[in-house]
Amino acid sequence: MFAYIVRRLLLIPVTLFGIILINFVIVQFAPGGPVEQMIARIEGTAVEATARITGTGGGETGGQAQQGGGGGESEYRGAQGLPPEFIAEIEAQFGFDKPAHERFWLMIKNYATFDLGESYYRDEGVLDLIIEKIPVSASLGIWSTLIIYLVSIPLGVMKAVRDGSKFDTWTSGVVIVGYAVPAFLFAILLIVLFAGGRYFDWFPLRGLTSDGFADMTLIQQIGDYFWHLTLPVTAMVIGGFAGLTMLTKNSFLEEINKQYVITARAKGLGERQVLYGHIFRNAMLLIIAGFPAALVTMLFTGSVLIEVIFSLDGLGLLGFEATINRDYPVMFGTLYVFGLIGLLLNLVSDITYHMVDPRITFEAQTT
């Protein structure tokens, strides 16, 4: 097992390199890069200023602005009226004065020392931004994933044991609703019901803490923290427990019908001993395998809309805004961190596999 862990750790840098390389190549062909974004902002500002001075319409002024200037042909859309020297300054500002391969190798070299660069538009280091946003996403992801597993696994086991009963039928209806309705719709419903939308005003809508949080006692701080988390975590749990519940049920049903279970019952073992002594360990392997993916999804992707709806400034929202604004350092920095965490969690999943069932040693993969 030790050799397998070492091998997986050594493969992490290679895998990260491949992930970043593929995404870097794709980004090179995407229109509307940071240089074009900046040109559009400059053109828009110039048009508005000229329109205010001359009193002309924006469309007419925009046409005059593009006709003016001494620039020639440019590879950037909307830059035909700007001087080439000015375009070169913008390229140098964003590092686009270097060829793509040089920019890529410089980025890889910096990432090796966890230097993730500076955001194009926020005037902050990418690593500082990520560290600043982690508490929000970690709070949503960890608590949501924990509650989903605590609810889904017992519910799935009970549904498998009582397969075909009235309990299985009505809980399946609840599961179908949870599976069919997206988490963000549950979030909107919760706001309407409990956050001053129409009926009750019991929970806050902004941030993880209230004003004056630092002046509260420890008990008050804990209460305030969970008060702010109640609605967003509830929305994520309702929208996320259905799939894991059915996966647990189907996994247990598959194990219940196997020969070793029939043999254990024939030996006189009680249902509880059969369920938790034999079935549980084998059925849980599939559930454990999905834990890293579930946690990464909750941390970085599943909470984007929840963060927007509840005004929570986390990693999901940071990555989304960086993609929209073509803030490449933030895009690739968050991708690097997400990928690293995901690969480490996959390794943790394999180790947990071995802990749950020592028969799984991965010896064949280390030869």
Same domain, 65 and 193: no
| Residue pair 139/208 in contact by the 8 Å Cβ criterion | yes
Does residue 366 carry a pLDDT above 50? no
Which of 196, 296, 175, 185 is CA-nearest to residue 246?
175
User: What is the per-residue pLDDT across 224-269, written as a single tens digit (0 to 9) for each?
Assistant: 989 988 999 998 888 778 888 888 888 888 888 788 877 877 877 7
Mean pLDDT of 317-331: 83
Which of 308, 203, 294 is CA-nearest to residue 242?
294
**148 lies in which domain range?**
127-366
Same domain, 152 and 107: no
User: What is the per-residue pLDDT across 125-176, written as a single tens digit (0 to 9) for each?
Assistant: 899 998 888 888 888 888 888 898 888 888 988 888 888 888 888 988 888 8
Residue 117 makes CB contacts below 8 A (sequence gap 6+) with 107, 110, 125, 126, 329, 333
Same domain, 153 and 247: yes
């219940």: which residue's tokens? 256
Mean pLDDT of 185-195: 87
Same domain, 317 and 355: yes
> Is 11 within the bounds of a domain?
no
> Is 331 within the bounds of a domain?
yes
> Is 23 within the bounds of a domain?
no
Same domain, 105 and 141: no
Same domain, 237 and 338: yes
Q: What is the spatial distance between Cα 332 and Cα 322, in angstroms, rounded to a whole number?
A: 9
Work out the pLDDT band at 69, boundaries 50, 70, 90.
Answer: very low
Please provide the average confidence, as pLDDT, over all residues in the chain: 78
What pLDDT does residue 62 have? 44
> Is 153 within the bounds of a domain?
yes
User: What is the per-residue pLDDT across 279-315, written as a single tens digit (0 to 9) for each?
Assistant: 777 777 767 766 766 776 676 666 778 888 887 888 8
Which of 151, 196, 186 is CA-nearest to residue 171?
151
Same domain, 56 and 202: no
* Single residue among 65, 82, 113 that ends a domain in this structure: 113
The number of residues making up the chain comes to 367
> 129-148: b or e for each residue (b if 16 or more CB lie within 10 Å)?
bbeebbebbebbbebbbebb
Does residue 46 carry a pLDDT above 70? no
> Is 17 within the bounds of a domain?
no
Does residue 89 carry a pLDDT above 80? no
User: What is the per-residue pLDDT across 17-43, written as a single tens digit (0 to 9) for each?
Assistant: 999 999 989 888 777 777 777 777 666
